[in-house]
Structure 1
């Protein structure tokens, strides 16, 4: 999100959207093999908190 300060130093939103995606592919293990991975509750919580804080869609 781009922000611009007005004369009083207050910030307002400028027309742009930011989208976030959690992508777990490819995940490579210590042997260099591509493996399956899972999304954890902690991943979802961290993304949700950042999205709420920074108004990310």
Structure 2
């Protein structure tokens, strides 16, 4: 089984890939749920740290 070489990207193709990588991700319910879980974990961690400091 032989593999074909990948054709080189044009400057426009590279620019399109870079623009796509810089675009913010779509706002989806899954993404919001992940963000909410991370925010809750951060809040709980801060509470634990504050309580341990006394």
* TM-score bracket for the superposition, by shorter chain length: 0.3 to 0.5
Higher Rg of the two aligned structures: 2
Structure whose residues are more often strand by fraction: 1
Q: TM-score scaled to structure 1, two decimals?
A: 0.33
| Greater RCO (CA < 8 Å, at least 6 residues apart) | 1
